[in-house]
Structure 1
Amino acid sequence: MSDIILETNHLTKKYHHNLALNDVSIKLEKNHIYGFIGENGAGKSTFMKIIAGLTFPTSGDLTLMGESSESGLARKRKSMGTMIEGPYLYGNYTLRQNVEIQRMLVGNPDKAATDRVIEMVELTDQAKKKAKKLSMGMKQRLGVAMALVGNPRFLILDEPINGLDPINIITLRNMLKKINEEQECTIFVSSHILSELYLLATDFIFIHKGSIVETVTHEELEEKCSQYIQVKDNNIPETVTILEKYFPDMTYKVVADDTVKIYGKTDIKAELSSHLMEAGIVISELSNKELSLEEYFVSIMGGVTYA
């Protein structure tokens, strides 16, 4: 069996003259946790709605759990759990009734699943409260419970952290990790805040103005956000020649006419400085820097990448 749970090919969505999604082609592997990151209005919810069958692409196609036909997609979507643009709740029904209705809608015969998922999101003591009386954070957790009640193989959550306090964010993170590990459930979570997903996701997909601009693993993101050496001098081409000759294992990126960033070891400054001065290069800066998650996010959204 294929390890790909979702593959999209050139998905494009237009609303009148607004291009919400632009030629999106991605592959999601089974049992990973994907962080889907972009600013508000970037196209995150539109993409999720297409995958969930709530809207249709203007062009392009997708394959879900090996199925690409209309009838096949409909079958496989029964193995999905979703919360997109907030939970859809029956306000005059209790929390438990909302979950029970969802259990029946997705066709899960296991009646015990209702109370089990309510306990998972730590809302057992609120089960008899009407949904309209719940706080925003409780509604978000209820939405997650409703997404889980069908025992999904593929879970899609749109901004699930909205309205949660720090303790509940940690609880949700631990719960999703447990579901991923114990139930082999692939999880696709969106947010506009990279730092919120950093401790959860195994992979990250960045979307900007409807287009995918970067896809990285957690390990690759760690490397991109690690320390680097910044060099500013009057002869960057010669500096690059020196780097390739004396430090072949280092990676670098020329970011301006007078600036190069060097990634990898940061204890080479003295040796590098010696080589640069021997070549007659005038150094204006040679310093250690560190790229934060927020800086990386801003750079990606601006279309600039750090190699």
Structure 2
Amino acid sequence: MSYIVSTRHVTKVFKGKEVVSDVSMNIPEGQIYGFLGPNGAGKTTFMKMLLNLVKPTSGEIELFGERLTPSSVELFKRIGSIIEYPIFYDKLTAQDNLELHCEYMGLYNPKAISDALELVKLTSVDGKAVGEFSLGMKQRLGMARAIVTKPELLILDEPINGLDPAGIKDFRDLFQMLSQEYRMTLFISSHLLSEIEQVADTIGIIQNGIFKEEVSMNDLKKRSSDYIEIVTPDCRKAVFILENNLKIKNFKVIGDHTIRIYQAGISQPEVSKSLILNDIAIESIHQKRTSLEEYFIDQTGGGEKYA
């Protein structure tokens, strides 16, 4: 398998503290790679190291099979990126900003600019200064700037920030199109786990600077388990019935009102019938499958906001 990005034991120390610790990662060519972790986990710092904006304290980074060094320049002509909040010349138009970027990148193709603006659905802003744009419009312009040169690798740090639901769907469709039709490789960090779940081929999880796991979504789906989730105000009584009447041992109580049954061979109608016959109120009962969010919380210990 060909890897567009490959890192070995990458570490970054700030003021005596390791903010990224011993990260070894492989991003396959043509895939969408979701990068997940709680706030302050080291995601942005790691992405900046890939772009030579921050130098690793130790470890090696390879892009397109070439080792990244402080003097690497040509490699970045093959990369588009959004890191943190995209910055523009606010008094210029979207077209003007993209023209400056293309000139800097050595691309002289006016059609590429109009194509990029069309892909991000930002075509009705002629003559409008970027300073008048909403946050979502600036995010779209940031994406247009990242893709205007048709890069082989896109590094996107929270690209969905500031978008409304329609904008999020537009970007989701765009990510899939860029991967499938243009064969771009996308490396995306996001706090919207449900969105990453819909587009990613592989995910990597980082916490406190430590790379926890790298797993393909196909493998993750194979690990996922079906379960029955019950919401009831009579949780203690329901647990008694499950254990003593239905002989269920493999279950988990979450909070004061939710029970998840993981035991094979037990059906939802069977559980419902037993609880109802024992006068236990059921607010809801559903057959479910473990989601990426649940897997992520399990890997990071839960209780933290992720971003």
1:268 aligns with 2:260: no
Instruction: Tell me what 2:73 maps to.
Output: 74
Instruction: Tell me what 2:113 maps to.
Output: 114
Instruction: Tell me what 2:58 maps to.
Output: 59
CA distance in 1, matches of 2:202, 2:222: 13
Instruction: Tell me what 1:182 maps to.
Output: 181
| Superimposed CA distance per residue, residues 123-159 of structure 1 (whole angstroms, 9 cap, x where no aligned partner) | 1101421111100001111000000111100001100
CA distance in 1, matches of 2:74, 2:183: 19
**Structure 2 unaligned spans of 5+:** 230-238, 244-249, 251-259, 268-286, 303-307
| Superimposed CA distance per residue, residues 86-123 of structure 1 (whole angstroms, 9 cap, x where no aligned partner) | 21211111111111111111112222111110111011
CA distance in 1, matches of 2:138, 2:9: 34
Deviation at 1:228, TM superposition (A): 4.5
| Superimposed CA distance per residue, residues 205-238 of structure 1 (whole angstroms, 9 cap, x where no aligned partner) | 11111111121111223234431489998xxxxx
Asked if structure 1 preserves the Cα contact closer than 8 Å seen for 2:60 and 2:68, the reply is no
SS in 2 for 1:116: helix
Deviation at 1:63, TM superposition (A): 0.8
Counting only pairs closer than 5 Å after superposition, residues 166-245 of structure 1 correspond to structure 2 as 166-228=165-227
CA distance in 2, matches of 1:294, 1:184: 27
Asked if structure 1 preserves the Cα contact closer than 8 Å seen for 2:35 and 2:187, the reply is yes
Asked if structure 1 preserves the Cα contact closer than 8 Å seen for 2:52 and 2:70, the reply is no
Q: More displaced, 224-233 or 120-129?
A: 224-233
CA RMSD of aligned residues (A): 3.0
**Structure 1 unaligned spans of 5+:** 234-251, 253-260, 271-287
Instruction: Tell me what 1:164 maps to.
Output: 163
Q: Which AA in structure 2 matches 1:268? A: G
Deviation at 1:269, TM superposition (A): 4.3
How has the CA–CA distance of structure 1 residues 25 and 127 changed in structure 2, closer, same or farther, with 3 Å as cutoff?
A: farther
Asked if structure 2 preserves the Cα contact closer than 8 Å seen for 1:118 and 1:127, the reply is no
CA distance in 1, matches of 2:125, 2:225: 43
SS in 1 for 2:67: coil
Instruction: Tell me what 2:24 maps to.
Output: 25
Instruction: Tell me what 1:298 maps to.
Output: 297
Q: Which AA in structure 2 matches 1:87? A: P
Instruction: Tell me what 1:105 maps to.
Output: 104
Counting only pairs closer than 5 Å after superposition, residues 273-284 of structure 1 correspond to structure 2 as none
CA distance in 2, matches of 1:212, 1:73: 25
| Superimposed CA distance per residue, residues 248-274 of structure 1 (whole angstroms, 9 cap, x where no aligned partner) | xxxx9xxxxxxxx998xx65349xxxx
CA distance in 1, matches of 2:126, 2:200: 30
Instruction: Tell me what 1:6 maps to.
Output: 5
TM-score (norm 1): 0.77
Asked if structure 2 preserves the Cα contact closer than 8 Å seen for 1:8 and 1:63, the reply is yes
Q: Which AA in structure 2 matches 1:34? A: Y
| Superimposed CA distance per residue, residues 272-303 of structure 1 (whole angstroms, 9 cap, x where no aligned partner) | xxxxxxxxxxxxxxxx8743433222111118
Q: Which AA in structure 1 matches 2:25? A: I
The size of the alignment, in residue pairs, is 264
Asked if structure 2 preserves the Cα contact closer than 8 Å seen for 1:37 and 1:193, the reply is no
Asked if structure 1 preserves the Cα contact closer than 8 Å seen for 2:172 and 2:195, the reply is no
